[in-house]
């Protein structure tokens, strides 16, 4: 009698011959790039360093496309965006010590935003591992300890035979919901040593699905079907799970208003009669969500930004669907369903009942009108006109990447991304410098359409060196830099809190001349000419810079009221 676990795939004669006689001139680095190709990777990001040279030498013997950035943190942002756009684990090749540590802020953003990044770092030689002070260049007592609190999993390789399995385990970890960054480190001598191991072929690293428990979805379906005033908060998990279509079906069946979080932009059609859009930083929206007798939260942990700075206090029953177990009921008691958003919504659709409610669209219209009146009373025409000009200039199919800057904070609430997975920002971890290098990663992922990056002048200075990367690889990214002469939002915060700002003003370069020195076209625009200038830049292949000198203001918050 033969059991399934007794079945073994027999190698063909050709495979046996190839395994017994692998091509000469390979090293441990070849095992890395062969494994990545076997896992399905096509593009890698990174920056070479002395201990990592074995990996980079092997790249020239592989079919992998390499995109080299000028700063490791920026390479991490590019890999983050590549992962968000493609849903694949983006390999990030780094060197030891300072090179590895420089990527930490980018990996924190990837972790907060659930972006799949496969970071592969070199290590000091094997003889130096273990925490002693051997005096190797770039030596850290315990390099992986610096990453353990940020990434999903860490993997240390000590022999060449461990490389394929370690990378496959890391790949699977990165792509198991919730997605996230993972860390693999390989000693220099393991990468450089010649190898006689067979060429790595196809690898099996299929991530496990996070399936909802049926008894929980049955209760949730009953609660939603019998609710008097249901509402839905759609987070980034809806976008990552490609569940926006199913969410639309569910909302229409329940006649439930839907608000999207800033990380969930595009999860629900912006102008749908049930769309509350993304006005989470507004007390009117908070009031409506608090009034819901059943609130369905999908793919969001209801963190600081999604809860109007923790002023949101639900009065009804909360049902939370979340793939990240650590976020389940972390801020509010709920019927917690640990599951991938797409699978959980699909389960709800099987049993939830039609719920007529002709008043729901009117409640949505009333709320949006109140929000509009509040913003209109603050005389912020310039800011709204600038954001509208960007929306008109950006082709519907093009993604946009926003740095931590005032125009981005407006976009979180007021920008229509037109489709899921089209608008991305650094609001997960909140670090500066994300917009431009992330846009480069997106352009490498899909070179068929232009990509927009938006930064303030403060954030732009974090990643200005990547103009060289954009030019070298001909990446089709238009970079809009809003120059207000400093850290604009911090200027506002300090002035409001202390009466004056300190350490917020910046001496800055002529960004147009600087772009042109890299061979990248640049233009200085105005609010009145922004739409035309940005449209032209986006329609012209290759990188470009559009500089908008303007001092923008934020709309007044509501979470401080009372």
What does DSSP assign to residue 275?
B
Q: What is the torsional sign of CA 323, 328, 334, 335? A: positive
Neighbouring residues of 488: CB distance < 8 A, sequence distance ≥ 6 = 405, 406, 456, 458, 504, 551, 552
Q: Where are the alpha helices (DSSP H) in 377-487?
A: 381-393, 406-414, 435-445, 457-460, 466-473
- Report CA 200 to chain centroid distance, whole Å: 30
pLDDT digits (tens, 9 = 90+) for 22-55: 888 899 999 999 999 999 999 999 999 999 999 9
pLDDT confidence of residue 15: 55
Q: How many CB atoms lie within 10 A of CB 98?
A: 13
- The answer to whether residues 92 and 119 touch, using CB atoms and an 8 Å cutoff, is yes
Contacts of 548 (CB under 8 A, 6+ apart): 386, 480, 481, 482, 483, 525, 526, 527, 530
Fill in the DSSP letter of residue 419. Answer: S
Q: Bridge-partner residues for 542, per DSSP?
A: none
For residue 500, cis peptide bond before it (omega within 30 degrees of 0): no
CA atoms within 13 A on the CB side of 521: 17
In whole angstroms, what is the distance from residue 167 CA to residue 171 CA? Answer: 6
pLDDT value at residue 3 = 47
**What does the pLDDT look like over 248-257, one tens digit per residue?**
999 999 999 9
User: What's residue 8's pLDDT?
Assistant: 46
Whether the CB-CB separation of 483 and 507 falls below 8 Å is answered with no
Cis-peptide into 272, omega within 30 deg: no
β-pair type (230-234, 258-260)? parallel
Low-confidence ranges of the chain (pLDDT < 50): 1-9, 14, 562
- CA trace torsion 458, 436, 244, 325 (10° rounding): -70
Distance CA 400, CA 423 (A): 5
């Amino acid at each position: 009698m033969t059991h399934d676990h007794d079945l073994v795939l027999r190698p063909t004669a050709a495979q046996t011959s190839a395994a017994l006689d692998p091509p000469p001139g390979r090293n441990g680095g070849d095992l890395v790039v062969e494994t990545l190709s076997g896992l399905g990777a096509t593009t890698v990001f990174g920056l070479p360093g002395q201990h990592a040279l074995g990996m980079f030498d092997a790249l020239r013997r592989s079919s992998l496309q390499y995109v080299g950035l000028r700063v490791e943190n920026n390479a991490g942002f590019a890999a983050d965006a590549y992962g968000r756009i493609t849903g694949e684990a983006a390999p990030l090749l780094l060197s030891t010590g300072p090179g590895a540590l420089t990527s930490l802020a980018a990996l924190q953003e990837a972790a907060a935003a659930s972006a799949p990044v496969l970071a592969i770092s070199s290590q000091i030689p094997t003889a130096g591992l273990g925490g002693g002070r051997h005096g190797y260049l770039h030596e850290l007592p315990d390099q992986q300890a610096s990453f353990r609190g940020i990434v999903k999993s860490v993997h240390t390789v000590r022999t060449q035979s461990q490389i394929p399995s370690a990378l496959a385990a890391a790949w699977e970890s990165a792509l198991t919901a919730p997605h996230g960054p993972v860390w693999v480190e390989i000693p220099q001598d393991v990468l450089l040593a010649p190898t006689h191991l067979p060429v790595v072929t196809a690898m099996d690293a299929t991530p496990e699905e996070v399936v909802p428990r049926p008894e929980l979805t049955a209760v949730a379906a009953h609660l939603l079907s019998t609710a008097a005033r249901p509402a839905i908060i759609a987070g980034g998990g809806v976008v990552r799970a490609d569940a926006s279509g199913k969410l639309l079906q569910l909302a229409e069946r329940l006649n439930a208003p839907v608000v999207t979080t800033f990380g969930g932009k595009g999860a629900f059609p912006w102008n749908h009669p049930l769309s509350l859009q993304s006005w989470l930083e507004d007390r009117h929206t908070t009031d409506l969500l608090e009034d819901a007798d059943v609130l369905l939260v999908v793919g969001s942990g209801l963190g600081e930004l999604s809860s109007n700075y923790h002023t949101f206090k639900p009065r009804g029953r909360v049902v939370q669907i979340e793939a990240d177990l650590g976020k389940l009921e972390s801020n509010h008691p709920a019927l917690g369903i640990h599951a991938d958003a797409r699978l959980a919504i699909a389960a709800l659709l099987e049993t939830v009942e039609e719920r007529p409610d002709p008043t729901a669209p009117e409640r949505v219209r009333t709320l949006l009108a109140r929000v509009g009146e509040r913003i209109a009373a603050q005389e912020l025409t310039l800011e709204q006109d600038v954001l509208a000009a960007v929306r008109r200039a950006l082709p519907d199919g093009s993604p946009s990447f926003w740095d931590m800057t005032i125009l981005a904070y407006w976009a979180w609430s007021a920008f229509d991304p037109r489709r899921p997975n089209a608008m991305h920002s650094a609001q997960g971890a909140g670090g500066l410098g994300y917009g431009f290098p992330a846009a480069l990663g997106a352009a490498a992922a899909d070179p068929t359409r232009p990509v927009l990056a938006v930064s303030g002048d403060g954030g732009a200075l974090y990643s200005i060196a990547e103009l060289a990367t954009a030019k070298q690889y001909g990446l089709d990214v238009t970079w809009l830099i809003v120059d207000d002469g400093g850290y604009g939002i911090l200027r506002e915060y300090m002035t409001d809190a202390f009466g004056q700002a300190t350490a917020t003003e910046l001496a800055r370069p002529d960004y147009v001349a600087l772009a042109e020195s890299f061979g990248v076209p640049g233009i200085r625009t105005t609010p009145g000419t922004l739409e035309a200038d940005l449209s032209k830049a986006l329609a012209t292949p290759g990188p470009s810079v559009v500089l908008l000198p303007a001092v923008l203001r934020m709309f007044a918050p509501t979470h401080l009221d009372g």
